[in-house]
Structure 1
Amino acid sequence: MHSWLDGLPADAVNLQSRALAYGDGLFETIAVRAGRPSLLGYHLERLALGCQRLAIDADQALIADELCRYASALGDGVLKLILVRGDSQRGYAPAAGVAPRRILQGSPLPAYPAEHAEQGVRLFDCSTRLAQQPLLAGLKHLNRLEQVLARAEWQDSDHAEGLMRDTSGRIIEGVFSNLFLVRGAELLTADLSRSGVAGVMRAALIEQATDAGITLRISDLSLQDLEQADEVFVCNSVYGIWPVRAFASLNWSPGPLTRKLQAIARTLLDT
């Protein structure tokens, strides 16, 4: 399917794009099933927050309309929205009156092995550390070199995901996912106020867990918390939930709360 630029089919961008020069923008990766963008409200909420934080004046209603029209044409797959501050000449300061550019791209749904969801995955211990920058923490901005470096650390098929910590050693997230721990009846996930990406599946699961009366704690997480966990899982907006079965010398089995939330995540992605 053709990519769209500002609502029209296109196969190129302006070389003066601030996305190329500075990574000046945001993106959303959205699962599409039967022509419907999954978790759209959560994606739009995060995008609006990012626009507010980066002072990008984007037409949110127009973006929502284009996402729905593109998803309808795509059918099934993954829709990527790249929102760029705009085009400008050399220099960090954006030119006055520059309009944001909207890029939509479609691709097939990834064919992840079924055992990732059924039996769980092993996490690689990434040495790349996430920088702490509260102004950008939580946002899905275009500067993703930390994740690029982390993902290059392993090439084997034994590890489906990597675990990332920040420069203070706190456990933050996976390379392309968010992390949850279960200890007793309590669900834990990392505080993302200093670094990390606040995933939309993470947001949906936090809301669902709260509605279901599950005790939830968002806080700093350490390796000790991981060692004391009864269950561990990672999540994102494309595959839902993968239980974690191993990290370094630690091992777990998919537990009842992981399975309960996994079923909820499937429903969220399919509706």
Structure 2
Amino acid sequence: MPFDDRGLAYGDGLFETVLVRDGVPCLWDEHLARLARGAAALGIPMPSREILEALPPRAGDGLAVLKLVLTRGSGGRGYLPPAPAEPRLRWRAAPFAPAAERWREGVRVRHCRLRLGVQPALAGLKHLNRLENVLARAEWSAPDIAEGVLCDAEGRLVEATCMNLFWWRDGAWWTPRLDRCGVAGTLREALLARGEIRETAAGPEALDAAEAICLGNSVQGLWPVVRLDDAEGRPRGRWPIGARHRMLQARAHDLLGYPVDAMKDVP
């Protein structure tokens, strides 16, 4: 990556992280649609479908993660973008194994102190400016805490540091509306399109009243939340893994080709 690349200098670009199973990218259309939305919002020319379809891995057995990085390229004076832009596309693929024990046993999560800035122009995009997530993730190092829950500057639930957030209440699965900030994950988009979840605006008290909570993304799948702490590490809620968790997990894992463990003693 050249020193003057605008993605390196300013975070002027986008990225996608794609699960690839036996040479076939999962939720590929959703990833390309989000990349296209981001490219249009930033004014970066979108690579052709032919170029993207030619990216490896497209053969071989097993799981891999394909990461794509699209930047505006080099040039421009200061923040002023070059016209026309000459975008730069980079990719890397690596073998991958999901954290399957978290599917089975669930995870402990915590609230973060950091608040996400409200910027509707970037809401939903997977852009390269991820310093807020970096700072939020630096708030804890305990290995038994899997994720951190983030609110925006006005106190509304948004997401976890690298996953989307779902909770069951009043007979439905809900997820935060992402029209102000946050990343619209491709697994979340697919579940919305299939009517499995609904969007709402809510504060953190919604999690306190939830009957079940899950976190999910298109690489790791769906994790049931069994404990939620506040930002100081004090327990705020505990949930046994039940049929509601497994129901949403089954829908999500069907999209990714992951298994759903059989439940015992679940009402």
- In the superposition, the TM-score normalised over structure 2's length comes to 0.89
Paired residue secondary structure (1:149): helix
Unpaired segments ≥5 residues, structure 1? 1-12
Q: Classify the secondary structure of the residue corresponding to 1:135.
A: helix
State the distance in 2 between where 1:51 and 1:188 align.
Answer: 28
Contact 1:205 1:261 in 2 (8 A): no
Q: CA deviation at 1:226?
A: 0.8
What is aligned with 1:93?
Answer: 80
Of the three residues 191, 207, 219, the one matched with 1:238 is 219
Aligned residue for 1:8?
none
Query: Offset of 1:90 from its aligned partner?
Result: 4.4
Aligned residues: 251
* 2:264 alignment counterpart: none
User: What pairs up with 1:55-70 in 2 under 5 angstroms?
Assistant: 55-67=43-55, 70=56
Alpha-carbon separation, structure 1, partners of 2:45 and 2:10? 18
Q: Deviation per CA, 1:118-155: give whole Å up to 9, x if none.
A: 12111122111100000001000000000000111111
The answer on 1:207 being equivalent to 2:193 is yes
1:135-154 paired onto structure 2 within 5 Å: 135-154=121-140
Amino acid across the alignment from 2:227: A
For 1:157, the aligned partner's letter is: P
Say whether the 8 Å CA contact 1:130–1:165 is kept in structure 2. Answer: yes
Which of 217, 238, 241 is residue 198 of structure 2 equivalent to?
217
Of the candidates 235, 242, 250, which is equivalent to residue 255 of structure 1? 242
Paired-residue identity, %:
44
The 5 Å alignment of 1:80-159 reads 80-112=67-99, 114-159=100-145
Quick check: 1:189–1:221 contact (8 Å CA) kept in 2?
no
Pairwise CA distance, 1:206: 1.4
4+ residue runs of structure 1 moved beyond 6 angstroms? none
Matched-pair contact (CA < 8 Å) for 2:150–2:157 = yes
2:178 aligned counterpart, secondary structure:
coil
Match of 1:72 in 2: 58
- The whole-number CA distance in structure 1 between the counterparts of 2:54 and 2:87 is 14
Deviation at 1:20, TM superposition (A): 0.9
Structure 2: unaligned runs, 5 residues or longer? 230-235, 259-267
Secondary structure class of the residue paired with 1:72: coil
C-alpha RMSD of the superposition = 1.6
Q: Report the more deviating stretch, 218-227 or 131-140.
A: 218-227
Instruction: State the one-letter code of the partner of 1:18.
Output: R
Distance 2:90 2:225 in 1: 34
Deviation for aligned residue 1:66: 2.9
1:74 to 1:17, Cα distance in 2 relative to 1, 3 A = farther
d(CA) in 2 for partners of 1:109 and 1:74? 13
- Taking the aligned partners of 2:160 and 2:91, their CA distance within structure 1 comes to 25
Matched, 1:180 2:138: no
SS at match of 2:121: coil
CA shift at 1:71, angstroms? 2.0
In structure 1, the residue corresponding to 2:124 is in which secondary structure? coil
Asked whether the 8 Å contact 1:18–1:84 carries over to 2, the reply is yes
Instruction: State whether residues 98 and 220 of structure 2, in contact with CA within 8 Å, keep that contact through their aligned partners in structure 1.
Output: no
Instruction: Measure, in 2, the Cα distance between the counterparts of 1:81 and 1:96.
Output: 23
| 2:78 maps to 1:51 | no
Counterpart of 1:30 in structure 2 is 18
| Shift in Å, 1:14 | 1.5
**How much does 1:199 deviate?**
0.3
Q: How far off its partner does 1:55 sit? A: 1.0
> Which amino acid is 2:173 matched to?
L
Report the 3-state secondary structure (helix = DSSP H, G, I; strand = E; otherwise coil) of the residue aligned with 1:19.
helix
1:185 and 1:31 map into 2 onto residues whose CA distance is 31
Structure 1 length as normaliser, TM-score? 0.88
- Mark the CA change 1:153 to 1:40 in structure 2 (over 3 Å): closer, same or farther: same
Deviation at 1:111, TM superposition (A): 4.6
Deviation of the 1:189 alpha carbon: 0.7
